[in-house]
Chains A and B, each alone.
Chain A
Amino acid sequence: QVQLVESGGGLVKPGGSLRLSCAASGFTFSDYYMSWIRQAPGKGLEWVSYISSSGSTIYYADSVKGRFTISRDNAKNSLYLQMNSLRAEDTALYYCARVSYTSSWYFFDYWGQGTLVTVSS
């Protein structure tokens, strides 16, 4: 069955860096677009970034553009999010999600359980 397992979260000081990972299994990872989505404590969901199946196309939310870098290693079935210049407002549970995309739909069909990032001095 499809599994997405995030890791790499933790406590980091403002201005610091962190790299999140998402290990995928149960499907052909290289066939799917992937995304990172976050949820601040007690708040709603916020889309963060998207990467195409080959990694050639990438988009970011304005709130993280220039600070975060999404990447993937299809040989390792893994998705990554390098987060630099972290701010208190980046504190959130970070989910990786598989994207199901055709000419008729675009949605997140599987989600991981998330990894918590806390930015605090």
Chain B
Amino acid sequence: QTVVTQEPSFSVSPGGTVTLTCGLSSGSVSTTYYPSWYQQTPGQAPRTLIYSTSTRSSGVPDRFSGSILGNKAALTITGAQADDESDYYCVLYMGSGIVVFGGGTKLTVL
């Protein structure tokens, strides 16, 4: 059973920088997993932020960036704003149409 790991929670000060990570219970995340990231605020559907590791979806501000850091995928928010306070989910593609969601990270901006 593949488990995708994310920090349960994180906090950042307004204007600060935060990096959320996405790992595998066994093994390393690489670009071949096509990591993607989604933002979800309470009561709303998820919004696509990043796909294919580091490509920003249309309309996503450039303060959001994606990368591979060590053996994990990473989402970095530079210059965090109050409305970045959300849940963030990563998704890894396992092949054959199967994906696994991470458990999500609740980001607090304070």
Contacts and interface: CB of A to CB of B under 8 A. Distances in A.
Contacts of A46: 101
Interface of A: 33, 35, 37, 44-47, 50, 52, 57, 59, 95, 99-100, 104-114
Interface string B57-74: 100000000000000000
Contact of B51 (A59, A105, A111, A113): A105
Give the interface size class of chain B.
20 to 34
A104 B98 CA distance: 15
Contact of B45 (A50, A57, A106, A113): A113
Contacts of B89: 44-45
Contacts of A52: 97
Nearest to B58: A109
Contact of A109 (B48, B96, B101, B104): B48
Nearest to B52: A105
A107 B96 CA distance: 13
Nearest to A101: B97
B46 to A, nearest CB: 6
Contacts of B46: 45, 95, 108, 111
Given A45-B46, A95-B45, A113-B45, A107 B97 contact: no
